[in-house]
Structure 1
Amino acid sequence: MRRSERKQQDPDLGVLASRLLFAVQGELFAALAEQGHAGLRPQHGAVLAYLDAEGSRATDLARQSGQHKQVVGKLLDELEALGYVERRPDPSDRRAKLIVPTALGLDQMARSDAIVAAIEERAAASVGEAAYASFKSLLRQVAASSRSLR
């Protein structure tokens, strides 16, 4: 059996995870575009998914997202130019900057939360609430164990 056929019939964890990621991102960013956030791209999710409403440090965003600081810095520059975030002095450390969502950023965060909740509700309805809860629990465990192997 050819490798491509095997991947279709019995996809590995990476293939399954990427299919799920791309499906969720596709639906999320299409819905956001329809709701007035057309300038956002899935790459921006590396920052927006981890941004606190009260503000976050860029180093924390990089650590949480698993992205290099330079990548996060570029995404922050783009999001700042699009009007989603602003950089402010961190009151607890004058040398550091806080990345704080603007009103547009807060709107995007609320809409994203609602869209993802709807995606999850639909998934739970399709496989059953208990099965979906078990799936999420197992996925969290696999993700946590993957991080510990690094």
Structure 2
Amino acid sequence: MAERRTTSTTTSTTTTGTGAALTGHQSAEPDLGVLTAQVLFSVQRELFGALAEQGFDDIQPRAGAVLAYLRADGIRASELARVSGQHKQVIGTLVDDLERLGYVERRPDPADRRAKLVCPTDRGLLQMAAATAIMRAIEDRHAKALGAQEYAAFKTALHRVAELQRTARHDGRDTGTPSGGPGEE
């Protein structure tokens, strides 16, 4: 990696695996987005690989936007969209796919007959139990490697960062643009 230093900034040139050069003001440390993506994709590979080995080989990681938030007694699609951060249309498509595969079914909501609940089928409940056990094993492995106290502190901090990010997104503060609009200060 070649570096050219000035008094105020560091510009670096990095060569990618394809030989293309990337130039910019990049930190030596991966940022929050890179780190969380690395964790997410690695956990998804392990989780869905283990689920496939247990006979749940027909679901893809994108289904996690529904499966991770599904409750045994059901949940409205609008609530799935809210808690997962996905658009309602995306959730609707995923629920359609999971319904076709036999993991969920739509039932009338007893609290409001106009609304539908997304409920796990027997197969869905089996998948939920398997996923819970796999995730518990993944978390136990990390807690053992880091120490239970350090891992608990990490999860607490990650929960706080996730909540701060959700709040910033809803307040319009995540774009790097002042709240007055583009170019205004």
TM-score between both structures, scaled by the size of structure 1:
0.95
Q: How does 1:1-150 map to 2 (within 5 A)?
A: 1-2=12-13, 9-150=28-169
Structure 2 unaligned residues grouped into runs of 5+: 1-11, 15-21, 170-185
Q: Structure 1 vs Structure 2: percent identity of aligned residues?
A: 57
Higher alpha-carbon Rg = 2
Q: What do the CA deviations read for 1:113-140 (whole angstroms, capped 9, x no partner)?
A: 0000000000011111111011001001
Q: Distance in 2 between matches of 1:7 and 1:138?
A: 24
Bigger Cα displacement from structure 2, 30-39 vs 4-13: 4-13
Greater length-normalized contact order (CA 8 Å, ≥ 6 residues apart):
1
Q: Larger % of helix: which? A: 1
Q: What do the CA deviations read for 1:43-82 (whole angstroms, capped 9, x no partner)?
A: 0000000011000100000100000000000000000000
Structure 1 unaligned residues grouped into runs of 5+: none
Q: Distance in 2 between matches of 1:149 and 1:9?
A: 25
Q: What do the CA deviations read for 1:77-118 (whole angstroms, capped 9, x no partner)?
A: 000000000011111111101111000000000000000000
- Deviation at residue 149 of structure 1 after TM alignment: 1.0
Q: Distance in 2 between matches of 1:45 and 1:121?
A: 21
Q: Larger % of strand: which? A: 2
TM-score between both structures, scaled by the size of structure 2:
0.78
- Deviation at residue 7 of structure 1 after TM alignment: 6.3
Supply the AA of the counterpart residue of 1:106: L
